[in-house]
Amino acid sequence: MAKDRAGRTRRPRAEAPRGFRDWFGAEVTARDAMLRRITEVYHRYGFDALETPAIETVEALGKFLPDVDRPNEGVFAWQDEGEWIALRYDLTAPLARVAAQYRNELPFPYRRYATGPVWRNEKPGPGRFRQFWQCDADTVGAPGPAADAEICAMLCDALEAAGIRRGDYVVRINSRRVLNGVLEVAGLLDPRDPDRRAAERGIVLRAIDKLDRLGEAGVRALLGEGRRDESGDFTRGAGLGPAQADIVMGFLCARGRDGAATLAALGGLVGSSATGRQGVDELEQIAGQLAALGYGADRIVIDPSVVRGLGYYTGPVYEAELTFEITDESGRPRQFGSVAGGGRYDDLVKRFTGQEVPATGVSIGVDRLMAALAASGRAAPPEPGPVVVTVMDRDRMADYAAMAAELRAAGIRAEVYLGNPRNFGNQLKYADRRGSPVAVIEGADERARGVVQLKDLGLGKRLAAEIASHEDWRAQPAQTEVPRAGLVAAVRRILDRAGG
């Protein structure tokens, strides 16, 4: 143990590191169930599962995070035998490494989905953690907009499978190529020298990505000299002049009454930029394919304000936003916001191979989607706890274990109480805290008569502390005596009545 200045042993603090949290049984179960529903959609679309290590080399991950002011440019990194390695910050960068490493073995286009935690060295805050779960689906090796349209359609299906009703979300689509065309018109991007003014463009991208949080005034401030937030922290701006800022803001506000009007406005903004025109054409093709599949403006719209913060996107980008209202910490109504996003990243695999490998995909923020379902009252009800076999005689633990084993063999979750059995009320209190649907009771009298007592805990919870003895418990309602040989069938009947 560590020692203080006086040399005394100091006990470690029993708390998670700042920006991290613990997940308990019901939360993990709910997350796993939601992920199964989402990945079943991915599987039906023909995507295969992939698991990659939590750690990659820093070189393989690349520098694409928007939070470049953080240590190690936003990743948790360290040296190992002379090589810099880091916790993955998303599931896409590892996919690019896999696609390059196994390019001669994988079928291309390669369609994969993945779930798991990712880590970002960001400034933590309320609801903002440094470790969070993502659920991704990507297609590597498909160059046309049909792959982007498929990803957007699949995202809609996945959200609905997770429990988000149609009409309570919208998938917004834009294109980095359109934005690049606008930046060309604004004098911030020269196709002949793409690295020039890259820092200013990065600030512009991050500013646009904060439109929903900062509003137009906040974005305009970041396009100019900068912005000071409520805490007093100052964020340096891109230093654009008023005319340049007007062009960017015009792009942000280009959304029309329908998709056709938006595309027409974007076409006017990109002017003669070849890159911009290509982006507008791609958006038009994606919108047409989605409409033909029945994904209309009630689910998917073209929205120029979507840019996505990661630096590796090269073409269409998309974001899923929940449109229903929740109540924030101050009791004010607000929309929940984004729960998923993605886009096309044609240059990510090229970093390894030197050859362009087109790719596109989407990532669902699992923690945010779970929080949205809970905030809207649409989370699946918690699963019941295990049937608890209580202990009336310590010398008969093998008999109680045999009861639990019979229940498990029938597919019923069950456990034997392994705490101190002296106070029967504590056993019932334990069953209550576990959310147990049934308590099994067999004392010496029941054993002699070949029966067990079953307490249906779902018929009404009472304070276990009020029950002082086995006799008191037997006198309560909702307790049934059944033959020992009929234990499994009787428990099953109680579970069926409770829907468990």
Cα–Cα dist 357/148, whole Å = 15
At residue 282, the 3 state secondary structure works out as: helix
Q: What is the CB neighbour count within 10 angstroms for residue 331? A: 6
Residues whose CB falls within 8 Å of the CB of residue 89, separated by 6 or more in sequence, listed in order: 61, 65, 74, 75, 118, 119, 120
The pTM score is 0.83
Q: Residue 137: in which H helix or E strand, if any?
A: strand 131-140
Instruction: Say which residues have a Cβ less than 8 Å from residue 234's Cβ, sequence separation at least 6.
Output: 226, 227, 228
Q: Cα–Cα distance between 287 and 283 in angstroms, integer?
A: 6
Residue whose pair of structure tokens reads 């393989």 in the numeric block: 60
Could you tell me which of 180, 141, 172, 179 has the C-alpha nearest to residue 155? 172
Which ranges of 45-169 does DSSP label H, i.e. alpha helix? Answer: 58-61, 92-101, 145-162
- Beta-bridge partners for 174: 317
What pLDDT sits at residue 57? 93
- What pLDDT is recorded for position 135? 97
Query: Which range (146-160, 280-294, 341-355, 363-377) has the least confidence?
Result: 363-377
Residue-wise pLDDT for 74-110, tens only, equals 889 899 988 999 999 999 999 999 999 999 999 999 9
**How far apart are the C-alpha atoms of 54 and 117, rounded to whole Å?**
8
State which H helix or E strand residue 321 sits in. strand 316-327
CA distance 226 to 195: 22
Instruction: Name, of 244-253, 419-428, 484-493, the range with top average pLDDT.
Output: 484-493
Average pLDDT over residues 405-422: 95
Note whether 116 and 133 are within 8 A (CB): yes
Q: Is 359:99 a contact under the CB 8 Å cutoff?
A: yes
Q: Please give the residue that has the higher pLDDT: either 6 or 145.
A: 145
Arithmetic mean of pLDDT, 29-53 = 96
DSSP 214-239: HHHHHHHHHHTTEEE-TTS-EEE---
Domains of the chain: 25-375 (3.30.930.10), 387-498 (3.40.50.800)
Burial 424-443 (b: 16+ CB within 10 A, else e): bbebbebbbebbbbbbbbbb
Is the per-residue pLDDT at 114 higher than 60? yes
pLDDT tens, residue by residue, 187-241: 888 888 888 888 888 888 888 878 878 889 999 999 999 998 888 888 899 999 9
Collapsed DSSP state (helix, strand, coil) of residue 268:
helix
Confidence of residue 165 (pLDDT cuts 50, 70, 90): very high
Distance (Å, rounded) from C-alpha 198 to C-alpha 334? 35
List the structure tokens of 306.
């979507």
pLDDT(353) > 80:
yes
Give CA–CA dist 440/435, Å, rounded: 14
Q: Mention every residue, 6+ apart, whose C-beta is less than 8 A from residue 46.
A: 111
In order of 61, 102, 349, the CA distances from 353 in angstroms are 15, 11, 7
CA distance 283 to 315: 10
- Portion of the chain with pLDDT greater than 90, in percent: 61
Return the axis-axis angle of helices 366-375 and 25-44, rounded to nearest 10°: 110
Task: For residue 337, give every residue at least 6 positions away whose Cβ sits within 8 Å of its Cβ, in sequence order, or none.
Answer: 212, 321, 322
Tabulate helix, strand, coil % of the chain (nearest 5): 40, 20, 35
How far is the CA of 124 from the CAs of 32, 206, 360, 411, in angstroms?
A: 25, 18, 29, 42
State the pLDDT at residue 464.
Answer: 43
Average of per-residue pLDDT values in the chain: 89
For 8, phi and psi rounded to 5 degrees? -85, 150
Residue with tokens 């980095």: 176
pLDDT value for 469: 56
Question: Is the model's pLDDT at 471 over the cut of 70?
Answer: no
Q: What is the pLDDT of residues 301-328, one digit of tens each?
A: 999 988 886 778 899 999 999 998 776 6
pLDDT of residue 465: 45
Per-residue pLDDT at 66:
60
Tell whether the model's pLDDT for residue 424 goes beyond 80.
yes
pLDDT of residue 463: 38
User: Cα–Cα distance between 244 and 225 in angstroms, integer?
Assistant: 13
Whole-number pLDDT of residue 360: 97
Please compute Rg for the chain using Cα positions. 29
- The pLDDT of residue 65 is 73
Residue with token string 């504590």: 426
Residue 11 token pair: 């006990």
DSSP state of 125: B
Torsion of CA 448, 438, 27, 153, to 10 degrees: 120
Residue 417: pLDDT band (50, 70, 90) is: very high
pLDDT of 391 reads 96
Position 341 pLDDT exceeds 90: yes
Q: What are the structure tokens assigned to 330, written together? A: 């101050």
